[in-house]
């Protein structure tokens, strides 16, 4: 039986083989459809599609939501020149009689002046002035002679308080007629101290308060060491002349006493205090210089440093002037002689000593008690009335 079926199958294959070449070719479909549709074989023509063939479901491609292009964010560079930008402080109009603060010295004094202007911008009773020379010092008197120029500055500005900050340019030899003195040698220290005293004495001779601000630390360790030595001798000399030394060193070093570029500002925020050269101050650094000077300065200024000091406007004054006298209403009267004011023939004025004596001829109860120790007489019939009456005398008889 199997042999019979096998022969029949072979005959059918041989008979149908020529027909396979005549199969009409279906028009070309898209590539995607051709891949998904399987070609039909001779077995499919004879026996139909296989039942075990899994139905293939065409999967639709997932819909992808178009992406929106994200705008590029601009990178912001943090400014390290002075920390956060300080808000602009408006300067109020100063009073005509405002206290004048004169700042003198080198480039550091110029930075201190800038900081003090911001500190007292809202104080109408304080005016900050400056006379500075950036490259000057007490060593090179041939470049700028402070003892010679300072008296003229004082006469010109007539300050109330003088602030001196100088010394950052003085790390050099002193030139004298008999030779040069090495920096920080014994002779150099004596001569430099003498020049500090000369500047201080010029100010103190005019009875002006003196604040001498010390130098800060610097990036160079050698320069910082020299500035520390100059601060020590300045503190001693200024105290001897009656001035006050303001130490700012701690504000520009770390806990180990080393120089810092970035530190706390007057509000405790970490900002850049020094420029990249390690010498000059940023805006925040200049304001911090003024912060250390404000405490002794406000103590000297008193109430004038307050922001509530206002100018008295003339239109707010009350009417202080008396109205003009109307001479037409003046009534002329003849003079009265002082010797007879009452026109009664008397020769004494009212309230004279004679009137007082006549008025008090009879002593009062108080005078009797105080002067003579006699109490006042008790009223008749009272328990303490011990006087004998006439009725008592008649009854006793």
Q: Which of 165, 151, 157, 167 is nearest to 101 (CA)?
A: 157
HEC secondary structure over 251-307: HHECCCCCECCEEECCCCCEEECECCCCCCECHHHHHHHHHHHHHHHHHHHHHHHCC
Q: What percent of the chain has pLDDT over 70?
A: 62
* Mean pLDDT over the full length of the chain: 79
CA-closest candidate to residue 81, choices 224, 276, 235, 257: 276
How sure is the predictor about 76, in pLDDT bands with cuts at 50, 70 and 90?
very low
Residue 323 has pLDDT above 80, yes or no: no
Say how far apart CA 84 and CA 271 lie, in whole Å: 7
User: SS3 of 374, please?
Assistant: coil
% of the chain surpassing 90 pLDDT: 53
**Do the bridges between strand 262-264 and strand 244-246 make them parallel or antiparallel, or are there none, so unpaired?**
unpaired
Q: What is the pLDDT of residues 206-265, one digit of tens each?
A: 999 999 999 999 999 999 999 999 999 999 999 999 999 999 999 999 999 999 999 999
CB 314: neighbour CB atoms within 10 A? 6
CATH 3.40.50.1110 fits 99-305, yes or no: yes
How do the domains of the chain map onto residue ranges?
A: 99-305
What are residue 244's DSSP bridge partners? 211
CA-based torsion, 325, 327, 331, 332: positive or negative: positive
pLDDT band per the 50, 70, 90 thresholds, residue 64: low
Q: Place 309 in a pLDDT band, splitting at 50, 70 and 90.
A: low
Six token digits for residue 237: 């000399």
28-51 tens-digit pLDDT: 444 444 444 556 665 665 555 555
Summarised one tens digit per residue, pLDDT across range 339-377 is 655 555 555 555 555 555 555 567 777 778 777 777 887
Sign of CA dihedral 310, 311, 315, 319: positive
CB atoms within 10 A of CB 168: 24
Give the Cα separation of 194 and 210 in Å (integer): 17
105's tokens: 């010295």
Q: How far apart are the first and last CA of the chain?
A: 198
């Amino acid at each position: 039986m199997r042999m019979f079926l096998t022969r029949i199958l072979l005959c059918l294959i041989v008979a149908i083989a020529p027909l396979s070449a005549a199969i009409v070719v279906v028009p070309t479909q898209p590539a995607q459809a051709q891949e998904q549709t399987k070609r039909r074989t001779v077995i499919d023509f004879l026996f139909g599609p296989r039942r075990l063939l899994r139905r293939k479901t065409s999967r639709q491609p997932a819909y992808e939501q178009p992406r929106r292009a994200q705008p590029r964010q601009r990178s912001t560079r943090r400014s390290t020149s002075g920390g956060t930008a300080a808000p602009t402080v408006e300067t109020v109009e100063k009073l005509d009689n405002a206290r004048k603060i004169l700042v003198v010295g080198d480039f550091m004094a110029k930075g201190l002046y800038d900081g003090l202007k911001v500190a007292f911008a809202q104080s109408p009773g304080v005016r900050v002035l400056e006379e500075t020379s950036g490259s000057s010092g007490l060593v090179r008197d041939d470049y700028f002679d402070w003892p010679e120029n300072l008296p003229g500055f004082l006469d010109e500005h007539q300050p109330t308080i003088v602030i001196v900050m100088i010394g950052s340019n003085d790390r050099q030899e002193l030139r004298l007629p008999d030779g040069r003195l090495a920096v920080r040698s014994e002779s150099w220290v004596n001569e430099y101290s003498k020049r500090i005293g000369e500047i201080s004495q010029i100010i103190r001779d005019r009875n002006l308060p003196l604040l001498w601000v010390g130098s800060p630390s610097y990036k160079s360790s050698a320069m910082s060491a020299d500035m520390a030595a100059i601060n020590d001798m300045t503190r001693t000399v200024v105290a001897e002349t009656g001035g006050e030394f303001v130490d700012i060193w701690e504000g520009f070093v770390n806990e180990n006493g080393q120089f810092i570029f970035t530190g706390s500002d007057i509000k405790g925020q970490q900002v850049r205090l020094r420029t990249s050269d390690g010498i000059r101050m940023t805006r925040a650094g200049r304001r911090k210089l003024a912060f250390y000077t404000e405490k002794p300065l406000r103590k000297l200024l008193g109430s004038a440093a307050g922001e509530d000091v206002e100018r008295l406007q003339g239109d707010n004054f009350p009417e202080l002037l008396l109205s003009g006298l109307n001479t037409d209403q003046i009534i002329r009267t003849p003079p009265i002689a002082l010797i007879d004011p009452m026109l009664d023939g008397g020769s004494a004025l009212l309230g004279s000593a004679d009137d007082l004596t006549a008025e008090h001829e009879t002593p009062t109860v108080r005078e009797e008690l105080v002067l003579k120790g006699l109490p006042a007489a008790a009223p008749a019939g009272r328990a303490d009335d011990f006087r004998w009456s006439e009725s008592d005398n008649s009854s006793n008889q």
